[in-house]
Amino acid sequence: MQYKVIKIRHPRYNHQLIPMLVDTDDYDFPLPSAAIWGFDLWHSKPLNTVEARLQDLAAFYEYVDKNHPSFFEDAAATKILTHRQITTLSSALLTNFKYTLEEDVSVKPSTFNRRIDSISQFLSFHYSRYVHKLNDLQQMDDRQKHVFAMVGRLRKKRYSKSEIEIHTNQAKSLTIDEVRIIKEIVRPSTENFVNEVNPFSPELQRRNACAILLLIELGCRAAELVLIKNTDEQLKFTTNPTVVITAENSNSSRLRYRSDGASHKTLGRELPISKGLQSLIVDYIEQDRPKLRKQFNGQFTDYLFVSKSDGGAMTTDGLTYLIDSLYRKVPNLVNTIHPHRLRVTKGIEVRNAVDKDYEGSNSPMIKSGDMQDTLTTWGGWSSTSTMPERYTKELLQQKLSEYLAKSD
């Protein structure tokens, strides 16, 4: 890298070593803007934090040196980065500079997120220095709003927690026996059958069983599950029952503004469920849901899963609490039941089913295209997403091992 962090002794602070970002092509000359920001951080943050933030800033300087050499002159004129520049910047921040550009190696998602945070802080600090020098208060306010919007766009490029988990800790799929055990534990009691291992109170057993079984059969995200509504448009219970997953409408007059509501992004799709689960959901809707549902802000919720605490829509936090309750009663389930692991299991099941459909086929191109289309539709991803490969990596490794074993 052309830019790196070195420690320089400061004569006014008892010659303490202060991290500085320098240009190695210019005799290790400290970079003024980075030095001002780093010095400001040094007064309030631990030394290793300052050094790490400046290391992140080095990636930004690499970007502006190659793609936006007029950045600092533009910033002095309070000229804000455009949407396109934010996009190219975020792409550049993925670069792992320990390798050559030709090798095209990306940093870990957690490192990328930290870079986004560091550079967002730098941009806010750097632009504010010039915005506050404007004489016109209206112009100052307008420019500051543009800076906030620009930083917000950059922060939206961060990986989500689930994406980081997928990249760093590949979840394993459940075995057939593990799925069977989960189903046996959450099976609701009836007049003729008492499930002594079910940890939930009688009035919640059907609701909770429906929630967990839908996670198993649909393989949907937790935030998608709590957005399912009790409507004919989303619960299509005909000869072949299906559930339609849709994105929350942020313009709806019935929006509850819960954190997992309108902000959740998903691609709509229609997925099949078993007739047994259909019957269980119908029983829950007819017998249990009316007793749980109460008015919230003067309205009754349309969402399928109702919270016992306030009678409104269940949230992802409520779903997490539901699953945590299973852990408290059956500690051995702590590493088994997790919405993401259930999703991975379903993804492998779907991919395996597509594989079997094409068994003996001599048309791998058609198979490849159908595989991508099927998996992205099931998972709610864009048609070019690489997520299906990440979710079904375990199956691919298994098939590779089987192939290699046969070839020995």
All structural domains of the chain, each given as residue ranges with its CATH number in brackets, are: 3-159 (no CATH), 171-340 (1.10.443.10), 342-407 (no CATH)
Q: Considering the chain, what is the average pLDDT of its residues?
A: 80
CA 90 to the chain's CA centroid: 17
Q: Are 22 and 9 in contact (CB under 8 A)?
A: no
Percentage of the residues of the chain whose pLDDT score is greater than 70: 73
Q: Residue length, the chain?
A: 408
387/288: higher pLDDT: 288
Which tens digit of pLDDT belongs to each residue from 173-182? Answer: 777 888 888 8
Residue 242 confidence (pLDDT): 92
pLDDT classification of 298: cutoffs 50, 70, 90: confident
**Which residues are 299's β-sheet partners?**
296
Most confident of 1-5, 43-47, 68-72, 392-396: 68-72
CA distance 123 to 75: 9
Rounded to 5°, angle at Cα 216 from 259 and 269: 65
pTM: 0.52
Whether residue 313 is predicted with pLDDT greater than 50 in this model: the reply is yes
